[in-house]
């Protein structure tokens, strides 16, 4: 365990990024790059559940903690990735307390939750340290609820109140789209939405996170009080690097032709 939950409770700001290629190679590269956490994306990413185990293994020797974003709050999906060794889950479209409770329950063993018990899984070193894993699971496993709809804003206090939901993660694309102001992150109503999420988190001693699209925005959201901030993705890194290099060498080719 990389102690993401404990570090957040101690007031640290943790920086992360998306892994949406389903690749063990890019997972390992990004894991060694200096981030605190990475998100293996099963909602929009090109990988499938069968790819998660190999990516988690590739990340094991890196400093980052691995969170998996599932498509929904189904308990059987949550326990699968936790048994593989994920340090927590992110669930999209957590629109009310019922969905938030489903996520939280899936993270916890009975009697507090409904997670199925299996000892011979990767998370417990295949049975070698089940007792220790069980003892520390509640303090180690991170529950991240995405706040990305107007409906979620209506219930944000109820969501934040759920024990086991540790991070209220704002999805700016979806939230602004649902509000009818897509991409207008300086819009007064969007700013009001951020303030509402921050207020709910403060009331219930939770953390707020967000995905940003440029590092220039980092100080703005950090100064607001957000402490679980993501920027970048493995697909973006590859695409930007490829486009940048191609543009440079194509420019050099054009200059060379002009000189002949």
SS (H, E, C) the chain: CCCHHHHHHCCCCEEEEEECCCCHHHHHHHHCCCCCEEEEECCCCCCCHHHHHHHHHHHCCCCCEEEEECCCCCHHHHHHHHHHCCCEEEECCCCCHHHHHHHHHHHCCCCCCCCCCCCCCHHHCCCCCHHHHHHHHHHHCEEEEEECCHHHHHCHHHHHCCCCCCEEEECHHHHHHHCCCCCCCCCHHHHHHHHHHHHHHHHCCCEEEEEECCHHHHHHHHHHCCCEEEEEEHHHHHHHHHHHHHHHHHHHHHHHHHHC
Judge whether 44 counts as a catalytic residue: yes
111 prior amide bond cis, ω within 30:
yes
Q: Identify the active-site residue in 44, 61, 155, 187.
A: 44
List, by residue number, the catalytic residues.
Answer: 44
């Amino acid at each position: 365990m990389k102690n993401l939950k404990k570090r957040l409770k101690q007031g640290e700001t943790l920086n992360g990024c998306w892994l949406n290629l389903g690749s063990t190679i890019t997972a390992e590269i990004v894991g060694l790059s200096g981030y605190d956490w990475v998100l293996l994306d099963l909602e929009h990413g090109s990988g499938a559940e069968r790819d998660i185990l190999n990516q988690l293994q590739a990340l094991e020797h890196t400093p980052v903690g691995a969170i998996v974003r599932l498509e929904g709050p189904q308990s059987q999906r949550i326990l699968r990735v936790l048994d593989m060794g994920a340090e927590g889950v992110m669930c999209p479209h957590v629109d009310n307390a019922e969905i938030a409770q489903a996520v939280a329950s899936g993270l916890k063993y009975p009697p507090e939750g409904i997670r199925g018990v299996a000892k011979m899984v990767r998370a417990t070193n295949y049975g070698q340290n089940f007792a220790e894993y069980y003892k520390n699971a509640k303090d180690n496993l991170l529950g991240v609820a995405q706040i990305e709809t107007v409906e979620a804003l209506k219930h944000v206090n109820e969501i934040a109140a759920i024990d086991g939901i540790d991070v209220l993660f704002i999805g700016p694309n979806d939230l602004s789209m649902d509000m009818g102001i897509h991409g207008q992150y300086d819009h007064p109503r969007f700013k009001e939405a951020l303030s509402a999420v921050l207020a709910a988190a403060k009331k219930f001693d939770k953390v707020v996170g967000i995905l940003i699209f440029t590092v220039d925005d980092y100080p703005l959201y950090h100064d607001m009080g957000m402490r679980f901030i993501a920027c970048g993705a493995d697909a973006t890194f590859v695409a930007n690097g490829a486009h940048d290099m191609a543009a440079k060498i194509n420019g050099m080719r054009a200059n060379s032709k002009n000189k002949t």
